[in-house]
Amino acid sequence: MAAQALHLQAQAQPAPLQLLDVPFISQSELLCGGAAAAMVLRYWGERGVSAESFAALVDRVKRESLAKAFIFLPLCISGAGVAVIWRFIYEWRPPGQPQIGILNAIVTGFGGEPVPWLQEIPINTLALIVAFIWIQTGFAMVILSAAIKGVPIELMEAARIDGAGELQTFLRIVLPSIRGSVITVFTLSAIAVLKVFDIVYVTTNGNFETDVIANRMFNEMFRFRNFGFATALAVVLLLAVFPIIVINVRNLRRQGIGA
């Protein structure tokens, strides 16, 4: 594994691409903003209830305000700052050398081999997803927690009187009541996924199959001076984001906002 990672690190930077030379990125990556973006979208789609459950859980812990402050804190840090933090967490050095990355220090402390978190495929994509979720969790928590607190207590008490358990109350009373907030969180998170740039640029610069549309657009524009291809990628990004914006606008109008 270590030899493979050293070989990957020694690879040259990708050559500039022409407008019609598009094998570097698949159609699914173009539509979802790259492999990392697609996997994060899949995470939010398959675990749609998890964010609401997390917000409900935070509302019930002791010292709620302190817990929410810690969860919201990553959102106050710039994307580049978050990327630097996680790059040091994932830092890898060959076996036998001091491991300054937190994860590899823990792994080697238990007698394991250091793992090239940002070089090995597909672990690097999952590692970037973790960093992105760390940022977005605070935003989702604030919106959904406020929405949950706005659900009338009478409805939940009536459901409990009728024999509904906590899970049934949450799924059949709370969740439908905050549907608008759930859609808002999902759409804004999806837009953030599609236009993600700083985390990828600082950690891997799109190497090792972690490239996304925004990062490729930046490299084509400012590194390779390939303005036509960069413009085409910008249009693709706009087309990918536009349907999500439409969904969000319709949701707001359904709630009577901006109607």
- Of 35-44, 72-81, 87-96, 226-235, the poorest mean pLDDT is in 35-44
What pLDDT shows up at residue 158? 92
Q: How confident is the model at residue 59 (pLDDT cuts 50, 70, 90)?
A: low
Stretch 150-174: mean pLDDT: 90
Share of the chain above pLDDT 70, in %: 75
Query: For residue 166, is it within any domain?
Result: yes
Query: For residue 258, is it within any domain?
Result: no
What pLDDT shows up at residue 221? 94
78, pLDDT greater than 70: yes
What pLDDT shows up at residue 33? 39
Q: How confident is the model at residue 108 (pLDDT cuts 50, 70, 90)?
A: very high
Query: For residue 2, is it within any domain?
Result: no
Stretch 201-206: mean pLDDT: 93
Query: For residue 24, is it within any domain?
Result: no
Q: Which is nearest to 17 in space by CA: 202, 225, 205?
A: 225
What pLDDT shows up at residue 42? 45
Query: For residue 175, is it within any domain?
Result: yes
92, pLDDT greater than 70: yes
147, pLDDT greater than 60: yes
Kindly report the CA angle at 14 between 10 and 20, in degrees rounded to 5? 160
Query: For residue 176, is it within any domain?
Result: yes
55, pLDDT greater than 90: no
Residue 220: C-alpha distances to residues 14, 15, 95, 231 (Å): 11, 10, 35, 9
Q: State the SS3 of the chain.
A: CHHHHHHHHCCCCCCCCCCCCCCCCCHHHHHHCCHHHHHHHHHHHHCHHHHHHHHHHHCCCCCHHHHHHHHHHHHHCCHHHHHHHHHHHCCCCCCCCCCCCHHHHHHHHCCCCCCCCCCCCCHHHHHHHHHHHHHHHHHHHHHHHHHHHCCCHHHHHHHHHCCCCHHHHHHHHHHHHCHHHHHHHHHHHHHHHHCCCHHHHHHCCCCCCCCCHHHHHHHHHHHCCCHHHHHHHHHHHHHHHHHHHHHHHHHHHHCCCCC
Domain that holds residue 88: 29-252
* Domain count across the chain: 1
What are the structure tokens assigned to 192, written together? Answer: 């953030």
Euclidean distance between CA atoms 177 and 160, whole angstroms: 16
Most distant CA pair in the chain: distance in Å?
67
Stretch 91-104: mean pLDDT: 91
What pLDDT shows up at residue 254? 83
Q: How confident is the model at residue 233 (pLDDT cuts 50, 70, 90)?
A: very high
What pLDDT shows up at residue 50? 57
Query: For residue 127, is it within any domain?
Result: yes
The CATH number assigned to the domain holding 225 equals: 1.10.3720.10
215, pLDDT greater than 60: yes
Query: For residue 19, is it within any domain?
Result: no
**Residues 235-244: pLDDT tens digits?**
999 999 999 9
Q: How confident is the model at residue 220 (pLDDT cuts 50, 70, 90)?
A: very high
